[in-house]
Amino acid sequence: MKSVEIKTLNRKYKVLIENNITGGIIYHIKENFSNFNNLIVILNDKLYGIYGERINKILCTSFKLNTIIINDGEKYKNIDTLKYIYQQLLKMNIHRNDVILSFGGGVTGDIAGFAAATFNRGIKLIQYPTTIIAQVDSSIGGKTGINFKNTKNIIGCFYQPHLIVTDPELLKTLDENEIINGFGEIIKYGLVFDYQIIDDILNISGNYKNDENRLFKIIENADFENIIYKCIKIKAEIVEKDEFDLNERQFLNFGHTIGHALEKTIGFDNINHGQAVSLGILCALDMSENLGYLKRDFKKDILALYDILKLPKFISKISIKKIMKSLKYDKKFTSSKNRFILLKGLNKPVIYNNLNENIVKNSIINNMLT
The least CB distance from residue 151 to ligand NAD, in Å, is 11
Complex with ligand NAD: residue 152 or 299, whichever CB lies closer: 152
By CB under 6 A, the residues from 126 to 145 that bind ligand NAD are: 130-131, 133-134, 137-138, 141, 143
Complex with ligand NAD: residue 252 or 283, whichever CB lies closer: 252
Q: Does 255 bind ligand NAD (CB under 6 A)?
A: no
Q: Does 105 bind ligand NAD (CB under 6 A)?
A: yes
Q: How many Cβ atoms are within 10 Å of 216's Cβ, its own excluded?
A: 17
Q: Can you say whether residue 168 is alpha, beta or left, with left for phi > 0 and alpha for psi between -120 and 50 degrees?
A: alpha
Q: Of 102-110, 161-169, 281-289, 353-361, which segment contacts ligand NAD by CB under 6 A?
A: 102-110
Among 98, 167, 178, 289, binds ligand NAD (CB under 6 A): 178
Q: Does 243 bind ligand NAD (CB under 6 A)?
A: no
DSSP designation for 254 = T
3-state secondary structure 63-79: CEEEEEEECCCHHHCCH
Q: Does 98 bind ligand NAD (CB under 6 A)?
A: no
Q: How many Cβ atoms are within 10 Å of 344's Cβ, its own excluded?
A: 14
Q: Does 250 bind ligand NAD (CB under 6 A)?
A: no
Helix, strand, coil shares, percent, the chain, to 5? 50, 20, 30
Q: Are 183 and 192 in contact (CB under 8 A)?
A: no
By three-state DSSP, how is residue 346 classified? Answer: coil
The least CB distance from residue 130 to ligand NAD, in Å, is 4
By CB under 6 A, the residues from 257 to 276 that bind ligand NAD are: 273
Query: Which distant-in-sequence residues (6+ apart) come within 8 Å of 190 by Cβ?
Result: 196, 197, 198, 201
By three-state DSSP, how is residue 184 classified? Answer: helix
Residues binding ligand NAD (CB under 6 A): 44, 46-47, 50, 72, 74, 77, 104-108, 110, 130-131, 133-134, 137-138, 141, 143, 152-153, 170-171, 173-174, 178, 181, 273
